Structure 1
Amino acid sequence: MRVNDADVDWTTTERGETTFRRKKLAAAAGGERLGCSLYERPPAKKAWPFHYHTGNEEAIYVLAGTGRLRTPDGADPLHPGDYAVFPVGEDGGHRVSNDGDEPLRYVALSTMDEPDVTVYPDSDKVGIYAGSAPGSDDERVVEGYYRRDDDVDYWLDEA
């Protein structure tokens, strides 16, 4: 299937320093196993906290504007034409921010496998998703964010 981004409505997310507009292109075209969204981030705004996925690979391609990409190796500038891949696991840790004066526009791609766990090293949290992949609007059977140290004994019988 095919879709033109002009035919897909923007959604807006505003949560503190995380602000962006998004067009879910893959969903609009009927994609199921590969996600693709067009993002536009205003100046001085960041994406989700630094994280990595244990079950899904992601990538971005910068179309316009400038920004910064934080990875486990540090932070580097982002420019139009840059393509970055975030593999599964710790080496794929990332956060995108707009430190320019213009909107930062990029395409984000990802596999849409579930279940998935996202790990947030800066806050020692994990996100768990089952029933639909991260970024999906489909109903999930399990979803939540937890501190990594909230481990309980498997054999402990709690009511």
Structure 2
Amino acid sequence: MRVNEADVDWTTTEHGETAFRRKKLAAAAGGERLGCSLYELPPGRKSWPFHYHTGNEEALYVLAGSGQLRTPDGTDSLASGDYVTFPVGEDGGHRVINDGDEPLRYLALSTMDDPDVTVYPDSDKIGIYAGSAPGSDDERIVEGYYRRGDDVDYWLDEG
């Protein structure tokens, strides 16, 4: 299926230093196994908190603007034309930062494997998703965010 970016509405996310607009292109075109979203970060703002996926590979392609990319190895510059991959696991940790004066526009791509666990090292949280992959609009049977230390015994509350 095909969709034109102009026909897809922006959604807006804003929380603290995180702020961006997003168009879920793959979802609008009926994509099921490959996700693709168009992102626009205003100057001085950041994308999703630093994270990595345990079940999904991601990538981004910078369309316009410049900024910084935080990875487990530190921070590096991003510029128009850059393509970056984020493998499954700790080595794939990332966050996009717009430290420029113009909007930073990029495509974010992802496998859409279900289930998935997203790890947020800075806040020591995990996100758990089952029933649909992260980025999907489909209903989930399990979804939540938890502190990594909130572990309970397997047999707790079992008669």
* TM-score, normalized by the shorter chain, greater than 0.5: yes
Q: Which amino acid aligns with 2:101?
A: D
User: Aligned residue for 2:77?
Assistant: 77
Question: Residue 105 of structure 2 aligns to which amino acid in structure 1?
Answer: R
Instruction: Report the secondary structure of 1:127's partner residue.
Output: strand
* Maintained 8 Å contact 2:69/2:76: yes
Q: Report deviation, 1:17.
A: 1.1
Quote the Cα distance in structure 2 between the aligned partners of 1:156 and 1:145: 20
Most deviating of 149-158 and 60-69: 149-158
Following the alignment from structure 1 to structure 2, what is the Cα–Cα distance between the partners of residues 135 and 17? 21
> 1:24 & 1:156 partners in 2: Cα distance?
41
Moved over 2 A (4+): none
In the alignment, does 2:126 pair up with 1:126?
Answer: yes
Once residues 93 and 158 of structure 1 are traced to their aligned partners in structure 2, the CA distance between those partners, rounded to angstroms, is 37
- The alpha-carbon deviation at position 139 of structure 1 amounts to 1.1
Q: Unaligned regions of 5+ residues in structure 2, if any?
A: none
* Alignment partners' CA distance in 1, 2:19 and 2:138: 22
For 2:155 and 2:7, locate their aligned partners in 1 and report how far apart those are by CA, in whole Å. Answer: 53
Deviations along 1:6-32, one digit per CA (max 9) or x if unpaired, are 111111111121111111110111100
Aligned residue for 2:4?
4
1:86 matched residue in structure 2 = 86
> What TM-score do you get using the length of structure 2 for normalisation?
0.97
Equivalent residues in 2 for 1:28-39 (5 A)? 28-39=28-39
TM-score of the superposed pair, with normalisation by structure 1? 0.97
Q: Which moved more, 1:53-62 or 1:14-23?
A: 14-23
Percent sequence identity over aligned pairs: 86
Deviation digits for residues 93-143 of structure 1 (CA, Å, limit 9, x no counterpart): 000010000000000000011110000111111000011111111111111
Q: How far apart are the structure 2 equivalents of 1:72 and 1:13?
A: 24
Instruction: Count the aligned residue pairs.
Output: 159
Offset at residue 158 of structure 1 (A): 6.1
Cα separation, 2, equivalents of 1:38 and 1:156: 44
RMSD (Å) for aligned C-alpha atoms: 1.1
CA contact (8 A) 2:27 2:137 kept: no
Stretch of structure 1 that moved more, 101-110 or 20-29: 20-29
Alignment of 1:79-118 (within 5 A): 79-118=79-118
